[in-house]
Structures are given as C-alpha cells and as structure tokens.
Amino acid sequence: MAMFILLLASAITKPLAKLTRIPYSVLLVLAGLLLHETQDLLSLPLEALTNKEVTHDIILFVLLPTLVFETAYNLDISKLAANRLAIFVLALPCVLISTLVVAAFISGFTSLDWHVALLLGAILSATDPSAVITAFRQLRAPKDLIMLIEGESLFNDATAITLTKILVVSFAFAEGFWPTLLNGSGLFLLTLGGGIICGWLLALFLLLLLKKMPDDPFWEISLSLLLAFGSYLFAEEILNASGIVATATAGITIASKAPLPISRKSQQYLNHFWSYLSFITTASVFLIVGLWMDLTLIWENAAISLIVLAALWLSRAFIAYALIPKIGHLQRQAKAIPIEFRHLIFVGGLRGAVTMALAMGLVTLFGNETILSVAISVVFFTTLLQGMLIGPLTSHLGLKERDINDSIACAELTLSTLHHSRKALQPLLKSAFAKTGAPQELSLKLLPMIKAQERQLHHWFSVEVGPIGLWNRLMLRCASIEIGYLYRLFDQGLIRGVIFEELKNSLDEQMEAIRHQYQRPKFSLLPKELSGLLHRARIHITSSSQKLIEQEYEMAWARFLSCNNVLDEFKAWTEDEEIPEAVAGSVAKIWQGWLDSCETKIVTIEHQQPIISAQVQRRLLRNYLLTAQSEHLQNYVQQYLISEEDAEQIKEQLRSMET
C-alpha cells in the first residue's frame, strides 16, 4: 500500500511540475512533506517507509542500485572516456576535500567530536545534480559539460558510500586520527578495486549469455535486473567490497559494448524498461526524503546545519570557481567552461538519497540522532533552496532554453516539411481527387507558408548570424543528414553496430565543436586508439591484423556512401533555398574532401588485400539480405497471415539453406 501511495503521489506531481515550472524534485519533496504531516490525520499506511532500518535497506539495496545502473548504462562512453581525467578529479579528490572541509568546520565550530565530523563530511559529499543536469539539457549546454556533471554524480556517490563504510570499519579497529587515516586508505583502495573487478566480470558473463542465448526481450530484461542487483549484493555480501562501484562498473561495461548482441526490438524494450524504472525510483527517492522531514528536529539542529551548509557551499565554490577552470586541459574542450554554467554548477550541488540512506545506517549503528537530523536538514535545504534557485538564476544570467540557432533549425525543418508536403500532393493533382479541387487548394495554401519561412530564414542569416553563422548551420545540417543516413545503413544491416557508433561519435564531436566554438577534431577512418596503435606499431597488412583492415574498409565504405548522400541532398536543398554560393561551396568542399579520402582508402585496400575486401562485402551483403528477409516476413506477421513463430521458423530455414 505504501508503494501505491508513492506511485500516486509521483503521478499527480509530474503534471503539476509542468504547470508551475517548479523543479520536479522540489515538488516531490514537498509532496513527501505533506504526506508526513497528514499521515496520522488520514491514517496513511506508510509505517514501513518511516522505519529507519527498512528505509535504509530500501534506498541502499533497491533504489540506489537501480539509479546507478540506469545512469551508467545510458552513459555516452566516448564522452566518458574523453573526460575521464576530469571526472576522476571531481569524483575522488574533490570528495575527499569536501569531506575534510566539512569535518573541519564541524569539529572546529560545534561540540561534535572528530569521529562524527568525519562521518558527516563523508555522507554529505555525495551530490545529486539531477536538477542542474535537466537545466543544462534544456539550455543545450556542451555535452562534455553534462557528462562531467553526470560522471561526477555517479562516481562521487560510489566514493562517498565506500568512504563512509571504510571510516566505520577503521573507527572500530583504530584509535586516533592518523591511524584511522592510514588504515582507511588501504581499505578504501581495496574496496574500490574489488567492486570494479566484480562488476566488470559479471558484466562480461552477461554479455556472453546474450551472445549464446536466443533473442528474447523478457529474458534480456531479467538478466539486466540480475546484473544490476546481483553485482551489488555479490560485492557487498560475499566479497565485502563496494557494491555501488560494482553496479556502476557493470553498467559502464554494458554501455561500452553498445549496441548489445540483441535485436533492435529487444534493445528498445530494454531501454524503455530502464527509463521507466529510473523515473519511478527517482520519484520514490525524493518522496522518501520529504517523508522524513521533521520540521521540529530540523529547527532544533538549525545551528549545526547552518555551519554544515556553509562548509558545503565553501567546498562547492572551490570546485566550481577554482578547480573546474583548472581542469579544462583534462577535458576534450579547448575553451574554458563559461562562468554562467559554473554558477549553475555551484547552485546545483544538491544532496539526496545517498546522504539520507547513509545517515539512517549510521543512526542504526551508533544511535546518534544528530547525524540523521543534520543530514535531513541539509537535504531539505539544498533541495528546496538551491533547487528553486536554478530556474530564476538561469533567467537572471541570460541563459535561454532556445537561442537563435535552435530557432533557425526549427524553421529549416518546417521549410523542409512544407516542401515535402508540396511534392507529396503532386500525384494527387492528376488523380480523382483533383475533380473536387482539394489538392490544388491545399497546394496553393502551402506557397505563402513556404515564402514566409524563407523570408524569416533569409533575415536571420543576413542580419542575425551572418556568413559564419550560416556556414555553421550548414555544417550542422549536413552532419545531421549524414548521421541519419548512417543509421539507415545500420538498420538495413549494411554496416555493423560498432562501425555506426564510431562514425556517429566522430560526427557528434564535429557538431559539438561547431555549436560551442572550439577546435574541430580531425576526421579519422579509425577509432583514436586503433589509429594510434597502427601509427606506433606500423602494423603491416597480415593475417594477424585482418580484423583491423576489415574495420577500416567497412568504415571507409560507410563514410563513402554517407558523404555521397550528403552531397546529393545538399545540392537539392541549396537549390530550393537562397544560400550564397561561396558559403555553400565551402561546406560542399569539406564533404567532398572526406569522400575523396574514403575512396582512396577503399581503392588502396581492395588493391592490396582483395580477399579481405571481398569477405567484408560478402558479409555486409549477407546481413543486408537477412534484414530484407526479416522485414518481408514481418509484413506478413502484421497482416496476421503468419505468426511470429512461423516467421522465425522460415528465417531459420533460410539460414540453413544459405549455409
């Protein structure tokens, strides 16, 4: 019954957040507070969620593994790898700095001893930046910046949990500050390492099962659940390592192997399942935070809470204004993070579920209610005060959810759709519908709409953005077209998933550099690691490097086809729109250069290794044929002429005939 009430509250709060434009997390905390205040009056059956031990276990063993695995599973691995050093600095040294700053303030300005001060510092170091990440996405902030904040949140949660666990163990076996620090450091590294190895091995085992077992979305979803919770429990209960690190590592390992060895339909089921589970879990976390808000207890410990908040804001200010500008060279970006975004990073240092769960666990162990009351106060004030500040601060800083480039992109898409609509009406002008005059009437109505969009775009390009802005827009549009075409090649089975992901990431880097005005990376037909390996080792074309040559050949073919498609479409829509010849020629020259480079690579490999190139062509054509057969049979399934089982049986027969 308690879960039903939480689901009902989250469902009611969601539309309210859209209507009031108050952050969803803030409204959920307020809804939880309302449930807390009316629990006795309305006789709400929420006793299970107001019990410390039960709530602690629900958050740490159910909600947290779900959130961590879903976040890790959906990470953009290429951006995570590109920003790994910066994320490491924020997730490990910064957590330790925050812990020591908070502990120093508590120990120096309150009567609490240094044991409690260190524990409070550790549990309050875990951030929950969901509100600021949402704001960054609405503001189209650089994706590397979003990854920096997401990575910080994911890994500092794991660091804070592990650090708290190590401190508790160290306090039990050592006396004094320095013995505790020395013992804890060794245990900390051992616990982290055990969690990483555990999560990695279990994820590899799951990938092996996915390759060996027949495709079944229910089986695959069940396996993902077992991995998320199994890695956590196995690491915590059996290895005595960090469960949250194991779960995060498992999710990252799975994400790094995308696309998974399952059908696209199953992949969609899996993605939707984890997205919904994450939504329910996030809502439950903030509702539980509200349920545990005791305003009387908060008032009694207001002095300590204010000191802790001051320490947290000081350490967050150090990270946002002193450290982040210095770690720019650890990121892929050439330009520093704008000061406006650093203001949001400072305000976005909220505390949430991890802090609450750890505080409840410490109260159970030590019976010190002060730890819980301070943690509740900090979570309450950071969620409400800082969460409510994000929206007004965004407006005050002049950051808009839609800038001129977004408006231009929307207008371009509208114009393209209107042109497509006119072309779709052409066959109807000579059909039976023409007798009524309806097709002619609709076609004539589209003309002034097309002219209006063209005038608006011409004004923007000539007055608002100029030739450089127009060049940027054309580059972004061409890159988007190419990514779409590459996906069609992947969808048809003409290229493998790993090739599509690599080329998509390469084009995405180009687009990010154009959007945020930093140096565009050079295009390579090979992944950075692979091309570096080839350059350093000077690998010759031998049987041992056949897979590398196959990948290079497949990438070159995919890029050759996609560049050809971009140039064809570019020529078509530049004829419909008034684009200066010099700007259009400059953009076309870039894609023509990539096309020529790919053609040279293809000819070279076909000349040097005709057997390898023929093998790749046969494999790709076989994949294309299998995709065409599957789509053909699926049409009959949709018409209820055959069942799914019949279609699978026919496909198996076709495969056996080919072999």
Q: Which of 396, 411, 430 is the last residue of a domain?
A: 396
Q: Are 272 and 100 in contact (CB under 8 A)?
A: no
- Say how far apart CA 214 and CA 219 lie, in whole Å: 9
Does the residue 193 lie in any domain? Answer: yes
Is 542's pLDDT higher than 70? Answer: no
Is 224's pLDDT higher than 90? Answer: yes
Listed in sequence order, the DSSP H helices in 397-496 are 404-425, 438-459, 466-491
- Say how far apart CA 486 and CA 300 lie, in whole Å: 61
Most confident of 253-262, 511-520, 532-541: 253-262
Lowest mean pLDDT among 192-201, 561-570, 639-648: 639-648
Is 222's pLDDT higher than 90? Answer: yes
Does the residue 16 lie in any domain? Answer: yes
Is 2's pLDDT higher than 60? Answer: yes
Shared domain check, 284 and 374: yes
Q: Which of 608, 623, 644 is the last residue of a domain?
A: 608
579 or 241: which leads in pLDDT: 241
Shared domain check, 485 and 391: no
Q: How far is CA 414 from the centre of its chain?
A: 28
pLDDT tens for 97-121 read 888 898 999 888 888 888 888 888 9
Residue 354's pLDDT is 80
Shared domain check, 289 and 372: yes
Does the residue 522 lie in any domain? Answer: yes
19 or 335: which leads in pLDDT: 19
If pLDDT is split at 50, 70 and 90, which confidence band does 44 have? Answer: confident
Shared domain check, 465 and 335: no
How is residue 472 written in tokens?
A: 């940027």
Q: Which of 396, 427, 443 is the last residue of a domain?
A: 396
Residue 476's pLDDT is 86
Is 198's pLDDT higher than 90? Answer: yes
Is 534's pLDDT higher than 60? Answer: no
- Say how far apart CA 518 and CA 381 lie, in whole Å: 37
pLDDT tens for 339-379 read 877 887 888 778 877 887 788 778 767 666 788 888 888 88
231 or 511: which leads in pLDDT: 231
- Mean pLDDT, residues 553-577: 86
- Say how far apart CA 262 and CA 149 lie, in whole Å: 30
Residue 659's pLDDT is 61
Residue 89's pLDDT is 80
- Residue whose C-alpha is closest to residue 292's, from 46, 112, 67, 124: 46
Residue 597's pLDDT is 92
How is residue 45 written in tokens?
A: 């059956």
Residue whose tokens read 């790994």 = 84
- Residue whose C-alpha is closest to residue 412's, from 479, 465, 460: 460
How many CB atoms within 10 Å of residue 420? 10
How is residue 136 written in tokens?
A: 């960054």
Q: Are 227 and 246 in contact (CB under 8 A)?
A: no
Please state, in angstroms and as integers, the Cα–Cα distance from residue 224 to each residue in 11, 230, 263, following that order: 26, 9, 15
Q: DSSP 3-state assignment of 301?
A: coil
Residue 233's pLDDT is 94
Phi, psi for 144 (deg, rounded to 5): -65, -35
- Chain-wide mean pLDDT for the chain? 80
- Say how far apart CA 61 and CA 65 lie, in whole Å: 6
- Say how far apart CA 42 and CA 28 lie, in whole Å: 19
Please state, in angstroms and as integers, the Cα–Cα distance from residue 345 to each residue in 121, 139, 368, 519, following that order: 20, 13, 32, 24
461 or 319: which leads in pLDDT: 319
How is residue 539 written in tokens?
A: 């690998």
Shared domain check, 183 and 112: yes
Shared domain check, 297 and 175: yes
Residue 567's pLDDT is 93
pLDDT tens for 458-509 read 777 776 677 777 888 888 889 988 998 898 888 777 888 888 888 988 888 8
Q: What is the DSSP string of 388-412?
A: HHHHHHHHHTT--SS-HHHHHHHHH
pLDDT tens for 604-623 read 998 888 888 888 888 888 87
How is residue 640 written in tokens?
A: 């209820």
Does the residue 615 lie in any domain? Answer: no
Is 84's pLDDT higher than 50? Answer: yes
Does the residue 364 lie in any domain? Answer: yes
Residue whose tokens read 């609450």 = 356
Q: DSSP 3-state assignment of 604?
A: helix
How many CB atoms within 10 Å of residue 250? 33
276 or 185: which leads in pLDDT: 276
Q: Are 49 and 55 in contact (CB under 8 A)?
A: yes
- Say how far apart CA 305 and CA 410 lie, in whole Å: 47
- Say how far apart CA 377 and CA 645 lie, in whole Å: 58
How is residue 194 written in tokens?
A: 């055990």
- Mean pLDDT, residues 184-201: 84
Q: At what angle do helices 24-42 and 130-138 cross, to 10 degrees?
A: 140
Does the residue 15 lie in any domain? Answer: yes
Shared domain check, 277 and 204: yes
- Residue whose C-alpha is closest to residue 331's, from 505, 147, 515: 147
Q: Are 209 and 262 in contact (CB under 8 A)?
A: no
pLDDT tens for 373-393 read 888 888 888 877 887 787 788
Does the residue 623 lie in any domain? Answer: no
Residue whose tokens read 């998933």 = 497
Q: DSSP 3-state assignment of 43?
A: coil
How many folded domains does the chain comprise? 2
Is 50's pLDDT higher than 80? Answer: no
How many CB atoms within 10 Å of residue 1? 10
Residue 343's pLDDT is 84
- Say how far apart CA 6 and CA 38 lie, in whole Å: 14
Is 204's pLDDT higher than 90? Answer: yes
Residue 544's pLDDT is 44
If pLDDT is split at 50, 70 and 90, which confidence band does 330 have? Answer: low
Is 176's pLDDT higher than 60? Answer: no
Does the residue 637 lie in any domain? Answer: no
- Say how far apart CA 100 and CA 159 lie, in whole Å: 14
Shared domain check, 604 and 515: yes
**CATH number, domain containing residue 364:** 1.20.1530.20
**CATH number, domain containing residue 465:** 1.20.1260
- Mean pLDDT, residues 557-578: 85
Q: How far is CA 452 from the centre of its chain?
A: 37
How is residue 97 written in tokens?
A: 């700095």
Shared domain check, 514 and 390: no
Is 446's pLDDT higher than 70? Answer: yes
Shared domain check, 314 and 455: no
Q: Whole domain around residue 526: which residue ranges?
A: 451-608
Amino acid identity of residue 229, one-letter, is F
Shared domain check, 479 and 373: no
Burial string for 38-75 (b: 16+ CB within 10 Å, else e) reads: ebeeeebebeebeeeeebbebbbbebbbbbbbbbbbeb
- Residue whose C-alpha is closest to residue 247's, from 62, 95, 86, 389: 62
- Say how far apart CA 189 and CA 241 lie, in whole Å: 10
Provide the percentage of residues in the chain whose pLDDT is more than 70: 87
End-to-end CA distance of the chain: 56
Residue whose tokens read 């061409």 = 478
- Mean pLDDT, residues 22-46: 80
Shared domain check, 369 and 474: no
